[in-house]
Amino acid sequence: MHREIRDHIEDVLRGGDTPKDAREHLAHCDECQTEVRSMQEQTALIRELRAPADFAEDLHPGFYARVMERIEAEGPISIWNLFIESPFGRRIAVASLALALLIGVYVVTSERAMEDSTIALESQQSVTEQIFVAGEDAPAREITRVDQSQSDESSQDAVLANLVTYREQ
């Protein structure tokens, strides 16, 4: 569209007064004529979105009360509403909860494993201390008996390994 028409397009579409040079240009320019015609058709289509003039007359007793009910029901918009109300937000919330659960399980189980290894280490240390208390001259069998009576099963292997080392030394 040429500038002569472009500058006055709202007036042209409205059918209002346009400057003489714009009218003359439009009378001779096929390109501008075609485009103006398209815009006129488009404008007519947009005007189809007008409501009927009498539409609003039969409105809606109690509307304000219903609006207030809705406002009270919805409450103030918070960041949590985004998660609760939208399906995508709900998915994120569920995924986050699942991830938190997994992390929790991992932390608990790894703490238990650490506790077990600590107990094993402690019992191993107590056996070693007893060996030292019993003295280097004590027979190996006696030391082994002390070990069996005082240490739990999980620490047996570690204790035996220590004994072997002790005897070799």
43 vs 7: CA distance, rounded Å = 17
46 vs 49: CA distance, rounded Å = 6
Window 41-60: residues binding other proteins (CB under 8 A): 41-56, 59-60
Complex with other proteins: residue 21 or 122, whichever CB lies closer: 21
> Side-chain half-sphere of 62: how many Cα atoms within 13 Å?
3
- Count of residues of this chain found to bind other proteins when the rule CB under 8 A is applied: 39
70-95 burial, b at 16+ Cβ within 10 Å, e below that, comes to eeeeeeeeeeeeebeeeeeeeeeeee
- Using the rule CB under 8 A, is 4 a contact of other proteins? no
Considering only 7-15, 19-27, 101-109, 117-125, which stretch makes contact with other proteins by CB under 8 A? 7-15
Which residues lie near other proteins (CB under 8 A)?
1, 3, 6-7, 9-10, 31, 34-35, 38-39, 41-56, 59-60, 63-64, 66-68, 70-71, 74, 76-77
